Amino acid sequence: MGNISEQIMDDHHYHFALHYVVSPAPQVYAYMQCHEDLSQTDCESCFSALKQKANRCLPSDSARIFLDGCFLRYDNYDFFGEAVDPIHDKFNCSARHLDDESLSKQFEEKVIEVITNVTIVTKRNGRFGQVEGKGGIATVYALAQCLKFLDNKGCSQCLDEAALRLKGCSKSGEGRAMFAGCYVRFSTERFFNPNYQKKETRVCAFTFLSSIGACIGYKRLSEMRKGQVLLGTVLCTSSLNFKYEILERATDFFDNSRKLGQGGAGSVFRGTLPDGRNIAVKRLFFNSRQWVDQFFNEVNLISGIQHKNVVRLLGCSIEGPESLLVYEYVPNRSLDQILFVKNTIHILSWQQRFTIICGTAEGLAHLHGGSGIKIIHRDIKTSNILLDEKLTPKIADFGLARHVAPDKTHVSTGIAGTLGYMAPEYLVRGQLTEKADVYAFGVLVIEVASGRRNSVFSEGSSSVLHTVWKHYKANRITQSMDPGLTGRFPENEASRVLQIGLLCTQAPVALRPSMTEVVHMLNNIDYEIPPPKQPPFLNASVISPSDNSKDSMMSSFKSF
């Protein structure tokens, strides 16, 4: 696989290249081709992705892999010139359908018309075509491409067969035909570059040794990542860069047994580098321009931060088929997995909880200005606090973080975060200041002390914030403490901590302390804590959806 990829990367002047490896049988033939609307850089990125996917099919002696921008096939016979393969040719229809029967009929007619037109355009253009069917209830986009080794007759045969099969998807919002000699796709969403300049599409065929087996696959690659070239220029020469292959081997090819957890932005795996160091590798979900924002945030904002209570970024990889972030390995998982797991063997003591609260406060104070720049995390919660072997807390997951310029008091931005931790002014008006982190920290403090999760969907007066506020007003605030502690905590210290949590969750922004002030309150027993003046919770009924929409609402807020 490496030989074919390297040859294509180096061959900038030919549409087709043939490469032989002189060696004993069995021989295997391989072919890769990009869609003609891809730039050279995007084509090379797509080829790199194909190489990685193909490696997972070995030692099988045949494979087909379709990505959104390119195609790979290898087999144990000379398939060049093959237009159709009745056994292995595939087509796929999406599950999206129109419910209105009259509109559905109009849509079907348009899809059939667009599929017919794109095959005509492709034959006329010489193996590549794009069509847009505008008007009516939806615009339909279509793309078709024949592989370079086909003659005109073979191209026409493949397109006609693929179009015939794909017209069976006319009730769907998207369909793809993946044939031996061509590829045809339609969708109600634009998926190609309409302004492409016709260019050379580099392809390659070659012969090499392989074992015998069987593998056929289909994978989807999202549209090429805007900003990747710029980011690559910066990182490829820096000490932050890791080779994708090294990280893949370090995690046993992202084996599920190495999975540490999964969040809204990606999955995290434990890895071991060749030098024996343990690392955590974050595999970002690659589905939109959100990838760019999260990647730049995590690399640019925290790569230079050195603080004992902020997880350390060791580096990243952008050269493979997916983007990876590499962090120090924190062995004791996240705080929520220890704090809220029922029947756990180890119940956090009060001293351990107090240390976690203080450490998290110090880390946030550092982010809010102690590092020389102001960073707002935007998603402080128990699942984003990691614990090392000594239960030292480390703030993690900076995918939603924002930098605030020195001359700005706030940032106006789209709502992102987790319900239950979002400050009211941010949730309602989208105004983001460091006091949004303070609010989330207050919720976290109360959760750690009480051992209960906060939920905006709690009925009546059962939410943890409401309970703590009620006990505070009745001068019995320590009744909010986690029953699992069985009273083993200093009442004065616990009372101060809960009161600090209430201060941080006050509705008016001006009444919340800064994180620097919070650190002083926690570390100085003589520091007089002012009484909270406002109820520290939102009326759940104002923002709570109906029961059947709770899950979708939670997901939408977490996925911005």
Please give the positions annotated as active site. Answer: 379
The token pair at 429 is 């008006």
- Give the chain's count of helices (H) and strands (E): 17, 21
Residue 445 CA: distances (Å) to CA of 132, 332, 431, 534: 55, 19, 23, 18
The DSSP symbol for 370 reads I
The token pair at 65 is 């892999």
Contact (CB, 8 A) for 449 and 436: no
- Alpha-carbon span 122 to 268, nearest angstrom: 43
Q: Which residues pair with 432 in a beta bridge?
A: 411
Q: Which residues pair with 143 in a beta bridge?
A: 130, 185
Give which of 165, 345, 318 is closest to 227, Cα–Cα. Answer: 318
In the numeric block, the tokens 């292995």 are attached to 88
- Alpha-carbon span 395 to 384, nearest angstrom: 6
Q: Is the peptide bond before 26 cis (omega within 30 degrees of 0)?
A: yes
Radius of gyration in angstroms for the set of CA atoms belonging to the chain, rounded to a whole number = 28
Task: Please say whether the dihedral angle defined by the alpha carbons of residues 63, 32, 242 and 369, taken in this order, is positive or negative.
Answer: negative
Contact (CB, 8 A) for 363 and 309: yes
Q: Is the peptide bond before 59 cis (omega within 30 degrees of 0)?
A: yes
- Alpha-carbon span 303 to 313, nearest angstrom: 6
Q: Give the helix/strand (H/E) hosting 278.
A: strand 278-284
Contact (CB, 8 A) for 295 and 235: no
* Residue 539: count of CB within 10 angstroms of its CB: 10
| Residue type (1 letter), 184 | V
Q: Which residues pair with 334 in a beta bridge?
A: 386
Q: Cα 507 to chain center, whole Å?
A: 32
